[in-house]
Structure 1
Amino acid sequence: MVQNILRRDEVERVTGLPRSTIYAKIASGEFPKSIKLGARSVGWLESDIAAWQQSRINASGVAA
């Protein structure tokens, strides 16, 4: 099964988080780890980002 990979700029856009916060949350285990795509590029599985977003919605108590 092929999954979409989101680049950092897209992850920033869909989560509303700046780069520094994304990497701080990765370091603390609060955000999905990135996938190395090349020597200087990373990406995230779209499904991992969607699951993270859903967990934040669930934790807030707001119905989606």
Structure 2
Amino acid sequence: MPQLFIRLPEVQRRTGYSKAWIYRLISQHRFPVPVKIGTRAIAFIESEVDEWINQRIIESREEVA
């Protein structure tokens, strides 16, 4: 499966989080770290973000059970 990049607006759309909250989670080592893709550009690895989202779902289901 190829690794795909997604930009911050897409990460915000998928998570429902603001830019500030995403960067706060990154600084706390609680969210996937973006990669530098250009001089002034970063992107996130789609599979890492998807895995992070899936893990949040699993954790929320475990709390209910």
The TM-score, its normalising length taken from structure 1, stands at 0.89
1:2: Cα distance to partner? 2.8
| Alignment root-mean-square deviation, CA | 1.3
Q: Which has the larger Rg?
A: 2
CA displacement 1:13-62 (0-9 Å, x = unmatched): 11111100000000001100000011211101110000000110011017
The TM-score, its normalising length taken from structure 2, stands at 0.88
Runs (5+) with no aligned partner, structure 2: none
Report the equivalent of 1:40: 40
Q: Percent identity?
A: 35
Runs (5+) with no aligned partner, structure 1: none
Runs of 4+ with >6 A deviation: none
Tell me the number of residue pairs that the alignment of Structure 1 and Structure 2 aligns.
62
Structure with the largest fraction of helix:
2
